[in-house]
Amino acid sequence: MKQKTMLAAELSWTEFEEHMKGDDVIVIPVGMLEEHGPQNPLGTDTAIAGYCAAMIGERAGALSAPVFPYGYGPEGKKFPGQVSLSPQLLRKILYAYGVSYAKHGARRILFVNGHGGNAGILRMAAADLWASHGVLCAATEWWLLVPQFKPEWPCNDHGGLYETSCMLAIRPDLVDMENARDPVPDTILSENIRAGYTVTYRGEPFFAALDDFALGRAGNFGAPPQGANAKLGADVLEAYIDYNAGLIREMRKVDLKK
């Protein structure tokens, strides 16, 4: 007998139609294919985004779409296995993804983003969806959101302590901790500008479009991955999932007819 599911890809078109008559929310996860240090798989961001979206959908009673596994990432291009779309193409794809659902009843979309390079582009696609179809869009990132209400978890790494812990929580079979390496030191770009986990001026992060600036040979940077553990990853992701389930419940209260 067919099990009840909130995964859109596992519904028939009739089940999808029926669900959307009673709810107008879709959760869309977006990932990336790129290095995450020698201990993590290339699809780390995709795995985390897909997992979180499914859990958020389950908890909020909303459908979650299949994870889009590609993103934009200029900084890891020297590493084998990376696939990066151009910012323009990614914006168009995410917009098309949203439009497809909007045509069949979605009025509210939550993008669950697993990769930093996607963040600005996702917000542009969200603005496009609002402008053309009146879709209320939100986009969140676990590593930016969680430290806002859990300062004890700064989530300040790429393939380091926090991201590796998340992978140990959801796909321990894909993590080889024996390959975990120390992060490379920050690159000094000027007297006061350093590039590491982020680019900073006088210690404060700012956006800079730079290629291959700090990844070094191992590919992880920020908090060292050696202390990664599944408990930490599960706690971090739970905080993120819980916030987003609440966000969806609140988004449903917004009157979009006005």
Nearer of residues 107 and 115 to Zn ion, judged by Cβ: 115
Position with the least CB separation from Zn ion: 45
First to last CA, the chain: 42
Q: Among candidates 207, 216, 204, which has minimal Cα distance to 160?
A: 216
Smallest separation, CB 108 to Zn ion (Å): 26
Q: Which is nearer to Zn ion, 45 or 186 (CB)?
A: 45
Q: How far is the CB of 72 from Zn ion (least distance, A)?
A: 13
Minimum CB separation of residue 192 from Zn ion in Å reads 27
CB of 182 to Zn ion, least distance (A): 18
Q: Which is nearer to Zn ion, 45 or 75 (CB)?
A: 45
- Return the SS3 of 52: helix
- What DSSP string describes 199-230? EEETTEEE----SS-S-TTT--EES-GGG--H
Residues interacting with Zn ion, by CB under 5 A?
45
Single out the residue of 156, 167, 145 nearest to residue 45, CA to CA: 167
Nearer to Zn ion, 24 or 45 (CB): 45
Q: Shortest approach of Zn ion to residue 105 CB, angstroms? A: 32
**25 vs 218, beta carbon nearer Zn ion:** 218
CB of 238 to Zn ion, least distance (A): 18
Least separation in angstroms between residue 79's CB and Zn ion is: 13
Paired residues of 205 in beta bridges: 200
| CA atoms of 126 and 55, how far apart (whole Å) | 22
CB burial string 201-221: b at 16+ within 10 A, e below: eeeeeeeeeeeebbbbebbbb
Q: Which is nearer to Zn ion, 57 or 76 (CB)?
A: 76
Phi, psi at residue 228, to the nearest 5°? Answer: -60, 140
Judged by beta carbon, residue 57 or residue 117, the one nearer Zn ion is 117
Q: Which two tokens stand for residue 23?
A: 């709810």
For 170, residues 6+ apart whose C-beta sits below 8 A from its C-beta are: 47, 48, 51, 233, 237
Helix (H) or strand (E) holding 187: strand 187-188
